[in-house]
Amino acid sequence: MRFTRARAAAYGTVAILAALALRFTPELPGRTDAGAQASSSPARGGSITAPPILGWQEREDTLGRGESLSALFVRAGLPAASAKEALRAASGEVDARRIPAGLRVTTRRIAHPDSAPAEVVLALAVDRLIRLRRTPGGWAGSEERIPWRTDTVVIAGEIRTSLYAATRTAGAKMLPGGARTELAWKLADIYEYRVDMSRDLQPGDAFRVMVERQVSPNGLVRLGNVLAAGFDVNGERVSAIRFGDGRGGYYDVHGKSLRAAFLRAPLEFRRISSVFGMRRHPILGVWKAHKGTDYSAASGTPVRAIGDGVVVRAGWGRGYGNVLEIRHRNGYVTRHGHLRGFARGVHVGARVDIGQTVAYVGSTGLSTAPHLHFEVLVGGTQRNPGEAIRAAIKGGDPIPASQRGAFEALRDRMIAALESPSVTVAAR
């Protein structure tokens, strides 16, 4: 009896303790609908699942010289078979054999030590990406274009030493260095029929230019079209208004095309070492009339015809070295000396077009360094090249009568914006 009572007491104590344990022990989590959805929902990329507390990790790499994309994928953590499949997905968007070294590649994976990349991004350009994603059906690729924001800025400057120096100073707050150099080239190209940027500009001359500026989401800047410009050269304003669809052309305020019968200079790369007049001959060591203009440039720089014409001389010319003469309209002849050689198809009797490459800068004949000696003869007499070409240049074709009204309306808007005292910025 005494034993029975003791056993009953022990059983009662155990029961009480068990009840207390059940009362104060938290319940195990059940599989709710939300929980089921979170655990079965694929991660970005499709086939990887992970608890929501895990995030994504990114890794940037670049393609090495001589390295294949598949090798880079493996180095980034993709299994060999998966790397080949991703490469096949990329081949639908880009030729993997022509991708240059230095290509930036970004891989994304779940932040877990055992996870493999689920997304690979190839940055082909600042505005073009190839995005590869791992999906339940395998790797898939797509191209993405990043939009640029375009605004319009007005840059004004004064010539002190050169156009390059002026654009670098005037546009420093609005354009990076490379874009400012490109702006100088754009202006030289637009005005190549009216102004020789290496010779005609003098200290005190000034310019204003309205140009499109394109900005990428990551802050890169590139130039768009020059919409309008004005150069004050030797007290005379030379304006340029872009008009027309597509590539468009440039016209002065009177509606005449800036294109003319002659270019102002025979080289696109224009850096003059001496000008027309008296100078000390570098080899003969005596003062003599220098009947032309010397353009200093690297050997092999293309020489272009400043106008349509016929080749009347192409060969050796004693002190001139290799010399080329082209007869143009109205009795004009251009002479090019010290050439390294002639372009293919250039011989006596050949017809050439304005802007066509006809020869290459050299240092033949009486020459101390590579440069182009350029002369203009009018009626058989040597003339100052700058003055002779300026006299020959006449306004180009006018705006058709049917477009005259549209041009004048655009011209008035452009001139007003160009002359605004403050910088014009019109985003779109």
pLDDT digits (tens, 9 = 90+) for 124-170: 887 888 899 999 888 988 888 888 899 999 999 999 988 888 888 88
Distance CA 104, CA 96 (A): 14
Q: Could you confirm whether domain 272-392 is CATH 3.40.50.620?
A: no
The residue type found at 390 is R
Exposure on the CB side of residue 280, measured as CA atoms within 13 A? 2
CATH of domain 42-145: 3.10.450.350
Question: Where are the chain's structural domains?
Answer: 42-145, 149-260, 272-392
Through-space distance between the first and last CA atoms of the chain, rounded to whole angstroms: 100
pLDDT, position 66: 84
pLDDT band at 270 (very low <50, low <70, confident <90, very high): low
Is the pLDDT at 51 greater than 70? The verdict is no
The residue type found at 407 is F
Same fold, 42-145 and 149-260: yes
- The residues, any chain, with a CB within 8 Å of residue 81's CB and separated by 6 or more, are none
Segment of 18-22, 396-400, 413-417 carrying the highest mean pLDDT = 413-417
Q: How many degrees, rounded to 5, is the angle at CA 219 between CA 217 and CA 222?
A: 100
Distance CA 327, CA 314 (A): 12
Is the pLDDT at 420 greater than 70? The verdict is yes
Segment of 59-73, 105-119, 248-262, 279-293 carrying the highest mean pLDDT = 248-262
pLDDT, position 37: 36
Average pLDDT for 258-279: 73
Average pLDDT for 367-387: 91
Of 11-25, 119-133, 168-182, 275-289, least confident by mean pLDDT is: 11-25
Q: Give the tens place of pLDDT for each residue, 213-226.
A: 999 877 888 899 99
Kindly list the distances between the CA atom of residue 409 and the CA atoms of 242, 258, 405, 413, in Å, as whole numbers in the listed order.
Answer: 12, 19, 6, 6
pLDDT band at 280 (very low <50, low <70, confident <90, very high): low
Is the pLDDT at 190 greater than 90? The verdict is yes
Is the model's pTM score more than 0.75? no
pLDDT, position 247: 66
Average pLDDT for 197-209: 89
The token duo for 22 is 């059940």
CB atoms within 10 A of CB 259: 16
Residue pair 301/346 in contact (Cβ under 8 Å)? The answer is no
Closest alpha carbon to 399 in 262, 241, 261: 241
CA–chain centroid gap for 160, Å, is: 27
pLDDT band at 269 (very low <50, low <70, confident <90, very high): low
pLDDT, position 292: 87
Residue pair 373/408 in contact (Cβ under 8 Å)? The answer is no
Residues 149-260, CATH architecture: Roll (3.10)
Average pLDDT for 225-229: 95
